[in-house]
Structure 1
Amino acid sequence: MKASPTSPPLKPSLLQRLVHNEELNFLLTNRVPRQALTHLVGWYSRIRSRRLTRASIWLWRRFTELDLRDARKPQFDSLHDCFTRELKPGARHVDVRPEVFASPCDAIVGACGPVQGTQVFQAKGFAYQLGELFGPSQDTTPFHDGHYVTLRLTSAMYHRFHAPQDATLEHVTYLSGDTWNVNPVALQRVEKLYCRNERAVLNLRLQQGGHRVALVPVAAILVASIRLHCLDVRLHLRYRGPNEIACQEVFSKGQEMGWFEHGSTIIVFVPPGFTLAEGVAPGARVRMGQALLRLPA
């Protein structure tokens, strides 16, 4: 009996080859007027027109794996409405075990592991210091020799982020900055990229053990806007202060804390004694609510 001939592998389309060409990708997303383009896309995304939105989503799907089946709403009034979409009830399962530190968002895991004293890596060979990321006003001592996990949200992902544990948000530091793309191509070329970009440092105190942890949402090109439910201002390029914002907002595990206007990155920092959950490694995909780290025994 003859074996059936094997079908030749499908060749990627010209569009796919262009999108995945690293040199071209870097030029198109970084060697451009990043902040002006970010303002333009922010304006465009808020145009309320269902016809325009449907056409824009159709084009968006040509470049990404956009899946809207778990979205609460079947239709969107604007691209911004789609970017910041909510999920259907029950679309994510939150691991409620008290020893589990849950992922605050859907993401692809980037660099992660032990903090080496005060040194963290954004990519192989590209290090930065905790103080450079947190800013001069913050005490990073609790995270020295701790652990960190970099969570990259692609443009097609669910963009809201949630409390990883029962916790109190005690302080927010907003640091205005640039809008470099935070994709792997840029991380391997631009030193201390996260420390250059617009970002916020969210200092939380866990109810379990009183541990201090930090979430650092980092904005990027097309997405220089971070919104927190507990603040009455939008943190974005035109916001200049106050940079230090005191608050005492209590969140339960899995409760929504805020959202990005588009895809970007959240870097999680925990003190010594925490460990990475099973399967958490560079390249792994995680969903909001699943185990990301384990608290000290």
Structure 2
Amino acid sequence: MTDLTDPRYSAMNRPSPPRRLITRLLDQEDLNFLLTNRVPRALLTRFMGWFSKIEQPLVARLSIGIWRLFADLDLSEARERHFASMHACFTRELKPGARPIDTDPAVLCSPCDAIVGACGALDGTTALQAKGAPYPLIDLLGSQERVDACRDGQYVTLRLKSSMYHRFHAPADLEVEHVTYIAGDTWNVNPPTLKRIEKLYCKNERAVIRARLSGHDAVLTLVPVAAILVASIRLHWLDVLLHTGYAGPTEIPARAGFRKGQEMGWFEHGSTIILFVPPGFALCEGIAEGQPIRMGEALLRAR
């Protein structure tokens, strides 16, 4: 297996002529939308799930090499130096200490590496998918009880690029109380698609995780949303892989405690996590749409 963290491969992280061409093409929003959505999304996602797990050195090396043409993939922080498959690279762990955790007990840290999307105060029980594109929480969460726990609170949308670290972690000391799995579509979740598909997050496959913050009664809601090529979500405390072929049950009672920064699960590729908190929290300074953030950095603060 090729060591893809070797310094000799660092040049591959610089934009190559093919990647620059691909980037220019994908920067054209209409073309980007067509290429990443007007395809057999479910079929392509199932194929990628199978193909990415092939453990053959040549297949793995070529797959990861092609991936680099499309993304700024940096493997220098990966715990492992060798990857048996593209899937192993997708779901890679990081070296110990690569993501320091904000230890302030009043702070909720980011659960993942991401680009911050729509965020801020909820309008009652309505959030924004993108500028001028609201969606009601009942369509996303599927239960009035879950909606009421978020009413008038704050939310942050965290979009994981395909090249990013794909595991997500507890933003605070908490106890998971329940998981609701909602099967759905696999639309891309990039900005061009968010502008064009109404209520996209409410259409895609997702898991609604209800957790209670340790030490007080506040309910935190985490919603990992799957997308094209990534319709599989692994949660450590469940013994099933949540994906489009999972028949249920939809409601999954669960009890699992996590310390701040402890790994909760991962996406098979990369997608979106939406975090909801009740009134009493505010966005930390510097958190705004388009801002990159790393797992463990300050995201929300209790007032």
Give the letter for the 1:147 counterpart. Q
| SS at 2:185 equivalent | coil
For 2:278 and 2:188, how far apart are their aligned partners in 1?
28
User: What CA deviation, in whole Å up to 9, does each residue of 1:178-219 have, x standing for no partner?
Assistant: 000000000000000000000000001001322101000000
2:172 aligns with: 165
Q: In the TM superposition, what are the counterparts of 1:43-62 in structure 2 within 5 Å?
A: 43-62=50-69
1:101 aligns with: 108
Give yes or no for the alignment of 1:242 onto 2:249.
Answer: yes
Residue in structure 2 matching 1:112, options 111, 114, 119: 119
| SS at 2:227 equivalent | coil
Distance apart, 1:105 and its partner CA: 0.3
1:5 aligns with: none
The answer to whether the 8 Å contact 1:19/1:63 transfers is no
For 1:58 and 1:221, how far apart are their aligned partners in 2?
20
For 2:196 and 2:51, how far apart are their aligned partners in 1?
29
Give the letter for the 2:102 counterpart. D
Give the letter for the 2:90 counterpart. F
2:135 aligns with: 128
Distance apart, 1:140 and its partner CA: 1.3
2:163 aligns with: 156
Instruction: Compute the RMSD of aligned alpha carbons.
Output: 1.4
2:283 aligns with: 276
Residue in structure 1 matching 2:198, options 191, 213, 229: 191
Give yes or no for the alignment of 1:28 onto 2:35.
Answer: yes
Give yes or no for the alignment of 1:233 onto 2:240.
Answer: yes
Distance apart, 1:14 and its partner CA: 2.8
Distance apart, 1:137 and its partner CA: 6.6
For 1:138 and 1:54, how far apart are their aligned partners in 2?
48
Aligned-residue identity in percent: 61
**TM-score when normalising by structure 2:** 0.92
Distance apart, 1:248 and its partner CA: 1.0
| SS at 2:172 equivalent | coil
Farther-moved stretch of structure 1 (54-63 vs 134-143): 134-143
The answer to whether the 8 Å contact 1:106/1:287 transfers is yes
Distance apart, 1:24 and its partner CA: 1.2
**TM-score when normalising by structure 1:** 0.94
User: What CA deviation, in whole Å up to 9, does each residue of 1:201-254 have, x standing for no partner?
Assistant: 000100132210100000000000000000000000000101101111000000
1:73 aligns with: 80
For 1:143 and 1:261, how far apart are their aligned partners in 2?
28
Give the letter for the 2:238 counterpart. L
Note the residue ranges of structure 2 that are not aligned, 5 or more in a row: 1-16
Note the residue ranges of structure 1 that are not aligned, 5 or more in a row: 1-10
1:147 aligns with: 154
2:22 aligns with: 15
1:265 aligns with: 272
The answer to whether the 8 Å contact 1:85/1:159 transfers is yes
| SS at 1:71 equivalent | coil
Residue in structure 2 matching 1:213, options 220, 229, 251: 220
Give yes or no for the alignment of 1:175 onto 2:182.
Answer: yes
Mark the structure with the bigger radius of gyration.
1
Question: May I ask how many residue pairs the two structures share in their alignment?
Answer: 287
Give the letter for the 1:257 counterpart. M
Farther-moved stretch of structure 1 (195-204 vs 127-136): 127-136
1:92 aligns with: 99
Give the letter for the 2:240 counterpart. V
Q: Which runs of 4+ in 1 moved over 2 A?
A: 11-16, 136-139
Farther-moved stretch of structure 1 (129-138 vs 57-66): 129-138
The answer to whether the 8 Å contact 1:98/1:208 transfers is no
Give the letter for the 2:288 counterpart. A
Distance apart, 1:138 and its partner CA: 4.4
